[in-house]
C-alpha cells in the first residue's frame, strides 16, 4: 500500500550471527529469501556492528546490497587527503586501490559471485560530515551536542582546504567546490550502486557537527533558500549522464581484448602508456585514465581521465575522435573540449573528465 521499495538494516551483521559466528546462510536470511514479497524488494545492509566478527563487508547473501565503506575511505584519501598532502606525499590510496573501488570492489564481491551493483558506493552518509563540511573542517565541532566535543568520529579523512570553517578566500572556496564536484562524479559514475546523502547536492552544511542526531534544528534542516544552484545543476548533469551512458556495465570486466582487438576496459598513464607493474602501487601517483571499450549503455567507447594532483595534467588521447561530456573543474560540469587520438588534452587539478568517442579511427 505504501509503495516501499525496500529496507536498509542498521548494524546488519546481527541478523546473521549464529552460535558459531556470522553466516550468510543464517535463518533470518533464508526466511527473507523465501518470503514471496520480501524476496523481491531491495535489501541493503550496513554490514558492520560492534559484536564479534562484526565487519562483514561483502559477506552478505546474494540479492543483498551492502554499504561499501572501503569505497568511501579510498575516495576520501585519494581526492581529499591527496589535496591536503601535497604533490610529493602519499595520499594513502594508490592507483591500484582507486581502480579497485571504482570498479565495483571485486575483492569483496566477485569471489562470492555477486554482481558489482551489490556494492553501495558512497562518500557521505547520515553519519559524519556532510560533503561540504568534509572539505571545510579538519576537526569535528560538536560542542552543541553538550558532550564536550567528545562524541562523533574523530578520524574523518577531511581537509579544510586552508581555513577551518566558513571562508570568503577565493582560493579556498574554489578548491572546496572542485573537491565536492569530483567526489560526486566518482560516486555517481563508478561501477556499483551510488548513494547520495540528502543535501549534499545543494551544499548543505552542519557547521562541522559530525554527529547531529540530537539536533532537530537548523543544523540538520536543509535550507532550500540557500542552496548552491551550480552544485545542484552539476549533480543533475551527472545523474543524466549515468542514466544515459552507465559508463560501467553491471558485470565484471576481464581486461582482455576481443577478436577485434577491443579491450572491454583498460587503464593508462597520462602519457598514453599502459598502467602496469609498480605504477599501480606508486604511493604518490595522482593521475590515471580508463578506456572503457564496452560501457553499460553507451554505444561507443568512453574515456575517464582522473587528475587528483595539485597541478594541471596533460593526457594523451587514444585513437579516435573524442568529445568531452563532463569536466568537474567547471561549475556545472559542462565542457566543449574535443580532441583526436594522439592529441594532448589538459585536465585541471583536482578534477576528472568523461569523454565519448564520436568517430572510429580511420583504418
Interior CA angle at 263 toward 283 and 337, to 5°? 70
The alpha carbon torsion through 219, 220, 226, 227 (nearest 10 deg) reads 140
- List Cβ neighbours of 81 (8 Å cut-off, separation of 6 or more): 91, 92, 93, 157, 159
Question: Cβ(306)–Cβ(352) under 8 Å?
Answer: yes
Please state, as a whole number, how many other Cβ atoms lie within 10 Å of the Cβ of residue 168: 7
Q: Nearest Cα to 45, choosing from 36, 54, 328?
A: 54
Task: Please tell me what DSSP assigns to residue 60.
Answer: S
Q: C-alpha grid cell for residue 349?
A: 587539478
Q: Check: CB of residue 43 under 8 Å from CB of residue 64.
A: yes
Do the bridges between strand 338-340 and strand 321-327 make them parallel or antiparallel, or are there none, so unpaired? antiparallel
Task: Name the DSSP class of 38.
Answer: G
Stated as kind and residue range, the H or E segment containing 101 is helix 95-102
- Residues designated catalytic: 10, 46
Question: Which of 182, 198, 179 is CA-nearest to residue 190?
Answer: 182
Q: Which residues make Cβ contacts (< 8 Å) with residue 289, sequence separation at least 6?
A: 267, 268, 269, 270, 303, 304, 305, 306, 315
Cβ–Cβ contacts within 10 Å for residue 163, how many? 16
Amino acid at each position: 500500500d505504501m509503495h516501499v521499495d525496500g529496507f536498509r538494516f542498521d548494524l546488519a551483521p546481527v541478523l546473521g550471527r549464529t552460535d558459531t559466528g556470522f553466516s550468510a546462510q543464517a535463518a533470518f536470511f533464508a526466511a527473507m529469501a523465501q518470503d514471496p514479497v520480501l524476496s523481491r524488494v531491495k535489501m541493503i545492509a550496513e554490514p558492520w556492528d560492534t559484536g564479534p566478527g562484526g565487519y562483514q563487508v561483502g559477506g552478505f547473501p546474494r540479492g543483498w546490497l551492502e554499504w561499501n565503506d572501503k569505497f568511501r575511505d579510498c575516495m576520501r584519501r585519494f581526492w581529499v587527503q591527496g589535496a591536503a598532502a601535497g604533490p610529493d606525499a602519499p595520499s594513502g590510496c594508490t592507483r591500484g586501490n582507486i581502480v579497485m573501488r571504482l570498479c565495483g570492489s571485486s575483492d569483496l564481491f566477485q569471489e562470492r559471485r555477486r554482481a558489482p551493483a551489490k556494492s553501495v558506493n558512497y562518500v557521505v552518509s547520515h553519519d559524519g560530515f556532510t560533503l561540504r563540511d568534509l572539505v571545510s573542517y579538519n576537526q569535528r565541532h560538536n560542542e552543541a551536542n553538550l558532550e564536550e566535543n567528545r562524541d562523533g568520529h574523530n578520524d574523518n579523512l577531511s581537509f579544510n582546504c586552508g581555513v577551518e570553517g566558513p571562508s570568503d578566500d577565493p582560493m579556498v572556496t574554489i578548491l572546496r567546490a572542485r573537491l565536492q564536484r569530483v567526489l560526486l562524479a566518482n560516486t555517481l559514475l563508478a561501477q556499483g550502486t551510488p548513494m547520495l546523502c540528502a543535501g549534499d547536492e545543494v551544499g548543505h552544511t552542519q557547521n562541522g557537527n559530525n554527529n547531529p542526531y540530537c539536533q532537530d534544528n537548523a543544523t540538520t534542516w536543509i535550507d532550500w533558500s540557500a542552496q548552491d544552484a551550480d552544485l545542484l545543476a552539476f549533480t543533475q548533469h551527472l545523474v543524466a549522464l549515468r542514466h544515459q551512458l552507465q559508463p560501467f556495465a553491471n558485470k565484471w570486466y576481464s581486461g582482455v581484448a576481443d577478436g577485434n582487438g577491443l579491450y572491454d576496459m583498460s587503464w593508462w598513464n597520462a602519457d598514453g602508456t599502459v598502467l602496469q607493474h609498480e605504477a599501480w602501487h606508486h604511493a604518490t601517483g595522482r593521475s590515471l585514465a580508463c578506456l572503457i571499450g564496452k560501457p553499460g549503455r553507451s554505444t561507443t567507447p568512453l574515456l575517464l581521465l582522473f587528475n587528483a594532483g595539485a597541478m594541471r595534467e596533460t593526457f594523451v588521447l587514444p585513437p579516435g575522435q573524442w568529445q568531452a561530456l563532463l569536466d568537474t573543474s567547471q561549475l556545472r560540469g559542462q565542457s566543449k573540449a574535443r580532441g583526436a587520438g594522439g592529441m594532448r588534452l589538459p585536465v585541471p587539478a583536482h578534477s576528472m573528465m568523461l569523454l565519448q568517442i564520436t568517430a572510429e579511427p580511420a583504418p
